[in-house]
Amino acid sequence: KEKFDLIVSNATLQWLDLKRILPSLRDMLNQNGILLLSTFAEQNLKEIKQSTGFGLNYFSLNELEQIFKIYFNEVKITQELIKLSFDNALDVFRHLKLSGVNSLGFYPLNKSFLKEFEEKFQNKLTYHPVFILCKNDIK
């Protein structure tokens, strides 16, 4: 089996079963190898989920830490909270479409929905990226 000193993955964990993938990733690392990942936490796109009911169920930082510590003896997790502001609600959804977010499917963006979104969320959108560094020095 091929082993690696470094494994890096960006914005894929939210689609995977962590308890199934983490043992495999750990086993692919050399001793003192590093796993460097990014994903999103519970406040990511919260405005969209609250307004449409659509969205992923993200882990909290505490949940992520507990899961990763099962498989790695060194875990460091950092986060950012990024709030974007837009001129209007339609621009929020254009931004999502251009960024490749497609979990809304065919949700109707009619005038009343956009007006309600504007009133409730003031055309804001939250991103909650999380960065995870893991090391396992056990052979």
Note the pLDDT tens digit of each residue in 65-105.
999 999 999 999 999 999 999 999 999 999 998 887 765 55
Kindly indicate the confidence band of residue 15, based on its pLDDT and cuts at 50, 70 and 90.
confident
Q: What was the pLDDT predicted at 75?
A: 97
Q: What was the pLDDT predicted at 104?
A: 58
Q: Supply the CATH number for residue 58's domain.
A: 3.40.50.150
The CB-based long-range contact list for 135-138 (8 Å cut-off, 24+ gap) reads 135/32, 135/33, 135/34, 135/35, 135/72, 135/73, 135/74, 136/26, 136/29, 136/31, 136/32, 136/33, 136/35, 136/71, 136/72, 136/73, 136/74, 137/31, 137/32, 137/73, 137/74, 138/31, 138/73
Q: Could you tell me how far CA 33 lies from the centroid of its own chain?
A: 23
- The per-residue pLDDT of the chain, averaged, comes to 91
Q: What was the pLDDT predicted at 105?
A: 58
Q: Is pLDDT of 139 > 70? A: no
Domain that residue 91 falls in:
4-135
* Total number of domains in the chain: 1
Q: What was the pLDDT predicted at 102?
A: 64
> Which of 4-18, 89-103, 121-135 shows the highest mean pLDDT?
121-135
pTM above 0.95, yes or no: no
Q: What was the pLDDT predicted at 138?
A: 62
Q: What was the pLDDT predicted at 100?
A: 76
